[in-house]
Amino acid sequence: MRRLCRRGTPSPGPATAKDTEPSPRPPYAEVMTTWYVLVEEDTRETKYAEGAELRLHRWRLAATRSVGPDEEQAAAVAEQLARAYTPPVIARHTRPGDEPARKAFLTRDGAWVVAIRQRRRECHIRVTTARLVHTQEEKEGPPLSWREKFREAF
């Protein structure tokens, strides 16, 4: 065990075998074994600047689905979602019995990129599998005192 300096940092000294050994598995391997399927949508926003129309595309996380500890099951659910998920941009304009055109591409890393089209509307989604590694709950700071509130007002 290494000694700590006054500031809480390890003191310089000879490193032991325990300090230099790489750990065989990452620290999160035992804790988190839940696989998720993530669905991202390509959202488009149109802005006008100096008389020109700008179409801005951004990817946003649209849905997450917890699958369980099995990676193969997560891959199967991802394929199912790539073949069946309809984004709200397309879904709000569908009539009963409508089925949009769909092109689903499987990338080398296992992600699905899907182009969905219906009645001149087009949308892209990306479906991937991921393992939850870290989670942290929101924590609020203490409420402001009346003096701090007064200072913020001015």
Domain count, the chain: 1
Domain that holds residue 84: 35-128
- Residue 7 is assigned to a structural domain of this protein: no
- Residue 99 is assigned to a structural domain of this protein: yes
- Residue 49 is assigned to a structural domain of this protein: yes
pTM of the predicted model, to two decimals? 0.65
Question: pLDDT tens digits, residue range 63-89?
Answer: 999 998 888 999 999 999 999 998 888
Percentage of residues in the chain with pLDDT exceeding 70?
79
- Residue 106 is assigned to a structural domain of this protein: yes
Bridge-based pairing of strands 121-131 and 112-118 is antiparallel
Question: pLDDT tens digits, residue range 90-122?
Answer: 888 888 888 889 999 999 999 999 999 988 888
Average pLDDT rounded to a whole number, residues 8-18: 48
- CA dist 77 and 112 (Å) reads 11
